[in-house]
């Protein structure tokens, strides 16, 4: 089984895992369930109750009620399409495109490869 490494992990000041985020540049309609299952496995591995999948224009929110320790209590609780003004420019997903990021109030540059 392929080990998943989350793109973003949100923790509390005391180290509790608050949210696991997976980001995919493209929509995941073909592998929709595979990507959600991967996020579920990652949530179980970290003991995290909230998962967020951002895939192209879609955002999917998962929540674990912890009624079952094997992940069957993880459910999709929300799904939305991002509005155009939140989407990157059309050429953003191409290799070599530059994306402006901000970290700690200081602008940073990242190059997609």
Per-residue pLDDT reduced to its tens digit, 51-97: 999 888 889 999 999 888 778 899 999 999 888 877 767 655 454 44
Residue that wins the pLDDT comparison between 8 and 95: 8
Pick the closest to residue 7 from 17, 18, 20 (CA basis): 20
CA angle 75, 76, 79 (to 5 degrees): 170
- Is the pLDDT score of 111 beyond 50? no
């Amino acid at each position: 089984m392929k080990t998943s490494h989350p793109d973003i992990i949100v923790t509390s000041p005391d180290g509790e895992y608050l949210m696991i985020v997976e980001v995919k540049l493209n929509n995941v309609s073909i592998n929709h369930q595979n990507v959600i299952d991967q996020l579920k496995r990652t949530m179980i591995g970290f003991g995290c109750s909230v998962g967020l999948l951002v895939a192209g224009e879609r955002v999917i929110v998962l929540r674990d009620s912890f009624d079952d320790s094997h992940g069957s209590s993880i459910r999709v609780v929300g799904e939305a399409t991002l509005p155009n003004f939140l989407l990157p420019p059309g050429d953003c997903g191409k290799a070599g495109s530059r994306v402006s990021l901000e970290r700690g109030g200081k602008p940073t540059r990242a190059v997609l490869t």
